[in-house]
Amino acid sequence: MSVKNNYSHTLWASCIGYVVQAIIINFSPLLFVMFNETMGVPYSKISLLITLTFIIQLAVDFFSPPLIDKIGYRISVVLAHLFAFVGLVLLAVLPNVMPDPFLGVLIAIVIASVGGGLIEVVVSPIVEACPHENKKGYMCLLHSFYCWGHVFVILLSVGFFAFFGIENWQILSLVLAAVPFFNIFYYLRVPIVSLDEAAMKNTGKHSLKLGQLIKNKLFWLMFLLMLCAGACELSVAQWASALAEQGLGVSKTVGDLAGPLTFAVLMGTSRVVYSRFGSKIPLEKYMLFCAILCITAYLLITLSPYPALSLIGCGICGWSVGVMWPGTYSLASIELKRGSTAMFAILALAGDLGCAVGPAIVGLVSESTENSLKSGILAAIIFPIIMTFGVMIRVTQKNKKSDSK
């Protein structure tokens, strides 16, 4: 079967899309210290980059759905990759040619972040709309590639900097730009249908509009679950390197490998395993198990007197959060059968909010307790607890419906 008629190629193009998003999100932070030391960029301005990236992500999540529905998924996802490609190329070029290197970095990261935001909004609906049987399995497999992209960025960067020196980082930026450039042409060939087309084919009705979603109580439960999913993940992932450095007294390089890399590998593995065997396990029950496992991991990280056990807790946490984000997408698609681009975008916004709120709470509590990172992470345990009760509410609702039939 040719590429143009084979939806497996749509899935693989989308998986590469999540690798691109991982590159955009995780590559530039590896350069922040170098920006400070060699370009003289103060950390206050670097913090501005992080904040601005987050604001752009939220803005794209909120405002892009009408545009995506108007111009279509194919044009949208190609534009997303074009923004990513241009942003990575400009990151290598602009700091060297502009009077203020920071302004060059800022422009490049803003452009790349628009691409990353569009990828997050449009890629999951593309896969959800594909005529596959095991949709929740494919959704988990899709999102595992963000993890593999994260691992790829860390390992490639560590290896490149070790052999060629961090001063040649511009070359690595151009190498990474080849990934979205290739995927532009892949997406131009694969078959793509929209969620609205899929809804019309399956139900004879158009997909749900934003106004209809807002009035639906079940949608707001999904919103809460997605917010908690983002917070559960990033509250530990964002601080895993620092936890490894503090607990084990190792260098930043070793800390990155022992903390975020281990977390990402186990999170990705969790998603791949569920994509393979998820058809045999009810999604809500597995998400409930994972939420309880996440609580256990948080307790192990924060209450264990042994640093090695705390790091094992980080790994367990990575596994436990693996299914939360894609699982919530799938749960929303199952329960709200005419899910729309707007639904995926608002859920992505909720996840991004969680990704900001969780680590922020960890940082604020840690600072107020004499830089005790464990105290900060313990405070963030509220998110897996809310996740547990949220999933239990849905399981109870479904059981009542089954009993009443």
Q: How confident is the model at residue 249 (pLDDT cuts 50, 70, 90)?
A: low
Which residue type occupies 160? Answer: F
Q: Determine which of 114-118, 338-342, 352-356 has the lowest per-residue pLDDT on average.
A: 338-342
Q: Quick one: average pLDDT of 332-360?
A: 85
Which residue type occupies 367? Answer: E
Report the pLDDT value the prediction gives residue 62, as an integer from 0 to 100.
Answer: 87
Q: How confident is the model at residue 165 (pLDDT cuts 50, 70, 90)?
A: confident
- Global confidence as pTM: 0.89
Q: Determine which of 157-171, 215-229, 242-256, 262-276 has the lowest per-residue pLDDT on average.
A: 242-256
Report the pLDDT value the prediction gives residue 251, as an integer from 0 to 100.
Answer: 61
How far CA 56 is from CA of 118, 323, 358, 402, in Å, comes to 10, 26, 18, 43
Residue with tokens 């009542």: 400
Identify the CATH assignment for 1-193 out of 3.90.800.10, 1.20.1250.20, 1.10.260.40, 1.10.3720.10. 1.20.1250.20
Most confident of 145-154, 174-183, 208-217: 174-183
Residue 4, helix vs strand vs coil: helix
Q: Quick one: average pLDDT of 128-143?
A: 87
R_g of the chain computed on alpha carbons? 21
- Residue 59 reports pLDDT greater than 80: yes
* Token pair of 68 as six digits: 């995506």
- Residue 347 reports pLDDT greater than 70: yes
Does domain 201-405 sit in CATH 1.20.1250.20?
yes
Q: How confident is the model at residue 235 (pLDDT cuts 50, 70, 90)?
A: confident
Distance CA 201, CA 74 (A): 19
Question: Is the pLDDT higher at 319 or at 308?
Answer: 319
Query: Residues spanned by CATH 1.20.1250.20 within the chain?
Result: 1-193, 201-405
Task: Give the percent of the chain with pLDDT over 90.
Answer: 46
User: How many C-beta atoms surround the C-beta of residue 116 within 10 A?
Assistant: 26
